[in-house]
Amino acid sequence: MGAILFAVLAVAAQLDRDDIREKTLEGQQAAAVPANHGGRPKVIVDDDDALFARALREKGTPMPDILKKLTIKTGKNAGQHPSVASLYRALADHDV
């Protein structure tokens, strides 16, 4: 009787494992779509902000002064100033 119970539980566990594997593969395929980049959203999304920051940088304005003139428009940090790293990243992305 114990062998039959063990066999039934083994089949149920294998079915559950197959279902998890199938869903994992579907998730990986969905994440591989070119438009889905993953990660946190960009802080400086607006092209106008990037152009404004680049113009100020070309004039020789220091980074801390540029940061004080920019604000984050969306997300939980809306209304705050972006970080120096975010500004450098945005300038690098828009230089290309």
Closest CA to 49 of 8, 12, 7, 86: 86
Residue at token pair 């062998």: 3
Alpha carbons within 13 angstroms on the beta-carbon side of residue 89 total 10
Per-residue pLDDT tens digits for 32-72: 887 776 777 778 777 888 889 999 999 999 999 999 999 88
What's residue 92's pLDDT?
A: 87
Residue scoring higher pLDDT (90 or 23): 23
Maximum average pLDDT range among 16-20, 35-39, 42-46, 81-85: 16-20
C-alpha triplet 81, 85, 74: angle, nearest 5°: 40
What's residue 4's pLDDT?
A: 93
Instruction: Using the predicted structure, report yes or no on whether residue 96 has a pLDDT greater than 60.
Output: no
Instruction: Using the predicted structure, report yes or no on whether residue 76 has a pLDDT greater than 90.
Output: no
- Return d(Cα 48, Cα 75) in angstroms, integer: 18
